[in-house]
Amino acid sequence: MEFVGSIARKTGEPSVLAVEAAKTKLAHKIGKESGLFYVPKVVRFDSKAGVLEFERMEGLVTLQQLIIDRDPRSRELSQKAGRALAVIHEKLVLPDEMKYELPPEWMGTDDDNVFIHGDFNCINVGFHETTERLVILDWSTAPLMGRTPTFGSRYFDVLWFASYMFRVVSNIRLLNWDPERTAKAFLEAYAEGTSKMNIDNLKYYLPSIRRLQRENIMYLARRRTRIRALAYILSQVFMYGRLRLFLGNYG
């Protein structure tokens, strides 16, 4: 992603960007109609050049940064994110030709399967200081999942977001970190926002999200120097244990 004036520009494979453009346009409409969140407008999509441009949100603070700063608004924003995701799962419907399934372990019953955000996390959810709106960005699926899938279990987005909160801790705050509080607020708000949330069904996906959490840790460690990677892995081993305990309440 690069920023040019009032534009945020992404380049890549045209077919993948075409899906992201479609998802973003529809999500913008859903957010506007629901009043729960805002999605930056698509300004231009050049299918030949593989260029997708969005409006740039000045004054946007990620939920990750608010949590790290111990901002008192972070819990309320996590709840808003839960309610927003429930609406997204209800309203987001793409054409059949843009329906690409998640791996089999992330496919469920008819009530479970929805069109997903795909990378719903504390970086792609933020707060716009000027308008005081919850903002949701980056409607392409996470790189670890191949960026292509658009359809699968609602619990992928739900658990991806909750587990991410256990990875954003800095080493200096390792013993003074409370991801359980914000993750719990998010899950409860999502459950309140939809009648489709089923704890018994959620349990089925816990082994898969734990595996993805381990893969994410190693993926991010490989992007660090050897010393920093070691420190990161040690801190994440501790947080992974806490994640398992937290998810154990649902399984």
- What's 87's domain CATH number? 3.90.1200.10
- What is the residue type of 188? E
Asked whether residue 84 is assigned to any structural domain, the reply reads: yes
Asked whether residue 146 is assigned to any structural domain, the reply reads: yes
Asked whether residue 20 is assigned to any structural domain, the reply reads: no
**Over the stretch 6-51, which tens digit does the pLDDT of each residue have?**
999 999 999 999 999 999 999 999 999 999 999 999 999 999 999 9
Contacts (Cβ under 8 Å, ≥6 apart) of 128: 38, 57, 59, 60, 61, 134, 135
Asked whether residue 46 is assigned to any structural domain, the reply reads: no
What is the pTM (predicted TM-score) of this model? 0.95
Dihedral over Cα of 61, 64, 70, 73: its sign: positive
Q: What is the pLDDT of residue 170?
A: 60
Asked whether residue 26 is assigned to any structural domain, the reply reads: no
Stretches where the chain sits below pLDDT 70 are: 169-176
Spatial distance between the Cα atoms of 102 and 32, rounded to a whole number of angstroms: 28
Asked whether residue 113 is assigned to any structural domain, the reply reads: yes
**Number of domains into which the chain is organized:** 1
Q: What is the pLDDT of residue 84?
A: 98
Domain that holds residue 233: 58-248
